[in-house]
Structure 1
Amino acid sequence: MSVKTKRKLIVIGSFILGFGFLGAMDGIMFHQILQWHSVVMDTDRTGQIMSDGIFHFATTITLVAGGVILWLAGNPTDLSKGVRLLVGYFMIGGGTFNLIEGIINHHILEIHRVRPDAANPLMYDLAFLASGVILIVVGLLIKRGRRTTPTTITG
């Protein structure tokens, strides 16, 4: 496999894995543990369970797809900055999930809020979007890496 192909598989696989991981964390934390919301709130409990089940199934498929692509890519340490690519794009994928899910479900479709029972639900929605931006920025910084200049040791 060429270096270019390996690099592309690591980028795509880690992005998809990060996207699926943050989706799974959203479902586990907000839907199940905290029980703040379901994917579709304006329905009965059976509808909420069904919408959450479909969501969890989709995140599981996403996680498996990302894992398979990374498995096909092989060891990221075989590439220069391969681990940086893997971790950086994982974070970028996760942040992208938060932005897409937050903008579409919370603001455009308005099918749920992060915490609809809060005194100020908009603050929770904005914090969710901010966490997506932070993850993307951190991912970009990790991917880019720190530029180092050689130091001269004088004795």
Structure 2
Amino acid sequence: MNGFWHDLRHHPTLLGAFLLGIGTIGMLDGIIFHQLLQWHSVNMHTDRQHQIISDGLFHLAVTVVMVWGAVVLWNSGRADEPGARKLFLSGLFTGAGLFNFVEGIINHHVLQLHHVHPGDYQTAYDLAYDASGLLLLLVGLVLYRGSQSRAR
């Protein structure tokens, strides 16, 4: 695990994909849970206008993260390295998983800004969301290990 965090700071393919993973899963969260299903907003403890503004600011932030990741990848020039595809997928899944898990713990459990689906079974929805983050994180770390064995 220590190798992943070291490589995240020093390998542009991993960093760019990690940022894309954060931005992509954040965007999917906003599109699916906030807009299509309308289960929650970033800040549920306010009127509808401010909920829409909080969601808009969230979408703006994850878009900036996605563009940042794309720029890092564009400038990396390392697509032909051994294990680069697995390293890319590792970063993508790890970024997505870490976002879901951390966002779930902080916003759903600690700060209680919102829940995945408020009402009956909200804790089950929140825990399933956390579990999805852990699963994505695990997939990313497994892919990272695979990319390291191929690179050698």
Q: Normalising by structure 1, what TM-score?
A: 0.87
Match of residue 129 from structure 1: 130
Distance in 2, matches of 1:57 and 1:74, equals 27
1:16 is aligned to 2:26: no
The corresponding residue for 1:151 is none
* SS in structure 1 of the partner of residue 89 of structure 2: helix
Deviation at 1:74, TM superposition (A): 2.1
**2:79 aligned with 1:72:** no
State how many pairs are aligned.
141
Shift of the alpha carbon at 1:144? 1.4
Q: Kindly report which structure 2 residues correspond to 1:1-155, keeping only aligned pairs within 5 A, or say none.
A: 8-76=11-79, 78-117=80-119, 119-145=120-146
What is the RMSD computed on CA atoms of the aligned residues?
A: 1.6
Extract structure 1 runs of 4+ deviating beyond 3 A.
Answer: none
| CA deviation after TM superposition for structure 1 residue 11, in Å | 1.0
5+ residue gaps, structure 1: 149-155
Q: Which runs of 5+ in 2 are unaligned?
A: 1-6
For 2:3, the equivalent position in structure 1 comes to: none
Shift of 1:140: 1.2
Q: Distance in 2 between matches of 1:31 and 1:13?
A: 26
